[in-house]
Amino acid sequence: MRLATYRAGKLFILYDADSLCDADEAPQIGPHTFDPDHWRATGRVAGEAPGRGASLFLDAGADQWVLRPYRRGGMVARLSATRYLWTGLERTRAFRELRLTAELFSRGLPVPRPVAAGVARHGLTYEAALITVRIAGARALAELLTSGEADEALLMHVGHTVRRFHDAGLDHVDLNARNLLIDRDDRAWLIDLDRCRLRPGGRWQAGNLARLERSLIKFDAARAMEAIRRGYTASSTSQRG
């Protein structure tokens, strides 16, 4: 994957040049790419995901994309739900998340293929959005737990997948049952890498698992953590592909 940057006025775009460039290297994106109203006006919004950011599923031709704007939560959102302090382009949340996702994708880890990140600077603040390829037919682990469709084999596979990311050094600061997706082939994927980072192993790994366990409790599925932990610690020969 080859990442490149492009500027259109106040908007800075980091994108996958291998999939978004013509032969003349001109990117097939622009400010409209990050504008939900543009996609709605052209009738290419295929759906909407739940959550604070109100992500949109977009009809992008061969694939569907997920357009996720960055949104603040908690008390700070009362001041500004969409603006973040500008400390440099490469330090924006969107650029950092896209570069991290691209790195993990290049290593063969199950993350969505990154498409582009857009950052609009407004003086000392900025707004941002991220686009990734939608995983076809995927549902959140939370949904499968609620419906009783998550069997022990699947949960052990989830644990194995989390272990793969930990072995790669990914500290996922919001590891929960909504950020683990299961596709039609019962393969697990990890999404939402905002504020995540690569780091040497340490106590953060146990912290990630504890956060996941708290998430399962919210969905009345605390016992699922037993199978997830078994998958996390089991040898790779006992896991799904």
Entry pTM:
0.92
Report CA torsion sign: 118, 121, 122, 128: positive
Instruction: Single out the catalytic residue among 35, 59, 63, 174.
Output: 174
State the CB neighbour count (10 A cutoff) for residue 56: 22
Task: At 138, list the tokens.
Answer: 């995927």
Q: For the chain, give me the number of helices (H) and strands (E)? A: 7, 13
Backbone angles phi, psi at 183, to 5 degrees: -90, -175
Tens of pLDDT, residue by residue over 204-240, are: 999 999 999 999 999 999 999 999 999 999 954 444 4
Name the CATH topology of 139-238.
Transferase(Phosphotransferase); domain 1 (1.10.510)
Which residues lie closer than 8 Å to 91 by C-beta, 6 or more apart? none
The CA–CA distances, whole Å, from 89 to 5, 93, 118 equal: 11, 9, 10
180: tokens are 């683990």
Give pLDDT tens digits for 75-107: 554 567 899 999 999 999 999 999 999 999 999
Comparing CA positions, the residue from 180, 173, 183, 240 lying closest to residue 208 is 173
- Collapsed DSSP state (helix, strand, coil) of residue 186: coil
Q: Rounded to whole angstroms, what are the CA distances from 142 to 52, 150, 158, 221, 222?
A: 17, 9, 12, 9, 12
174 is catalytic: yes
Q: Which amino acid is at 239?
A: Q
Residues in the chain with pLDDT values less than 70: 21-27, 51-53, 74-79, 235-241
Length of the chain: 241
Tell me what pLDDT residue 51 has.
62
131 forms bridges with which residues in the sheet?
67, 116
| Calpha distance 51→149 (Å, rounded) | 22
Distance CA 94, CA 128 (A): 6
- Look up residue 2 and give its two tokens: 């080859």
| Largest Cα–Cα separation, the chain | 55
